[in-house]
Amino acid sequence: MMKLKTTPLEVAAPRSSGLATKSRARLLTGFTLIEIMVAMSLFAIVAVIVSGALITVSDVNRKAQAIKLAMDNVAFAMDSMVFNLREGGNYGCASLGSSGTPCSPGDPIVFESTRAGSKRYIGYRLNEVGSIQFSSANTIGGLQGGYKDITSSEVDITNLRFFIPLVQGTQLVPRVTLLIEGQVPGKTQTNFYLQTTVKKI
């Protein structure tokens, strides 16, 4: 009986390609200086853009808050005038009972108030630095020395005018037309214009 002689097969190991060798070498060496510089440049550009946007948003928010505070202050001053004018009478420009023409710039409006059953005299005027002022006294003469600011320095009032129509006959209700013009100073100036008419109750 014949015996067959077998020889084991030899499997050759696969040769590594040049691309795999380069990739392995790159993983071992890290990034090059040029790649790091490009990445840092892109990061700096993005940071500058984002910072500029944040600064712009902050400025817009700050301006909006300043305008809101200024207009709240002007609204308070107007509410004060409307409230007192509505319960007053005998309106006049600089003196009681002078009606029919607009008050001259700087002239206060003067009127009587009988709120709470006691007669008092009230005056409103615009001073030389752009603030609305209020005064109340038991006598006409006491008004002049008692004027106090009711608007803040953040608001510049450029015009405060009162118009008192001439009332003829007993059926016409005394009334006053009030005009306020001004601005909110800042990098971007904001102008405002307010007008209302008040009737005696």
- Is 157 part of any domain? yes
When pLDDT is averaged across residues 36-43 and rounded to a whole number, the result is 88
Q: What predicted TM-score, i.e. pTM, was given to this entire model?
A: 0.67
Q: State what percent of residues in the chain have pLDDT above 70.
A: 75
Mean pLDDT of the 129-156 span: 88
Query: Does residue 137 belong to any structural domain of this protein?
Result: yes
Domain boundaries, position 158: 55-199
The yes-or-no verdict on residue 105 having pLDDT over 70 is: no
Average pLDDT, integer, range 32-41: 86
70 domain-assigned: yes
Given pLDDT bands bounded at 50, 70 and 90, which one contains residue 168?
low
Q: Is residue 41 part of a domain?
A: no
Which carries the bigger pLDDT value, residue 131 or residue 188? 131
106 domain residue, yes or no: yes
Q: Which residues, at least 6 apart from 124, have a Cβ–Cβ distance to it below 8 Å?
A: 81, 108, 109, 132, 133, 134, 135, 160, 162
Q: Is residue 35 part of a domain?
A: no
Residue 170 has pLDDT above 50, yes or no: no
pLDDT at 138 over 50: yes
Provide CB contacts within 8 A for 79, sequence distance 6+.
none
Does residue 28 lie within any of the structural domains? no
Q: Would you call 150 exposed, middle or buried from its count of C-beta atoms within 10 A (0-12, 13-18, 19+)?
A: middle
Q: Which of 31-40, 71-80, 114-123, 181-190 has the lowest mean pLDDT?
A: 114-123
Say if residue 200's pLDDT is above 70. Answer: yes
Q: How many domains in the chain?
A: 1
Nearest alpha carbon to residue 66 among 184, 149, 153: 184
Average predicted confidence (pLDDT) for the chain: 79
- Output 176 or 101, whichever has higher pLDDT: 176
- Residue 98 belongs to some domain of the structure: yes
Segment among 41-45, 98-102, 124-128, 177-181 with least mean pLDDT: 98-102
* Tokens 């016409």 found at: 172
Structure confidence at residue 120 as a pLDDT band (50, 70, 90): confident
pLDDT single digits (tens) 53-94: 888 888 878 888 888 888 889 999 999 899 988 888 888 887
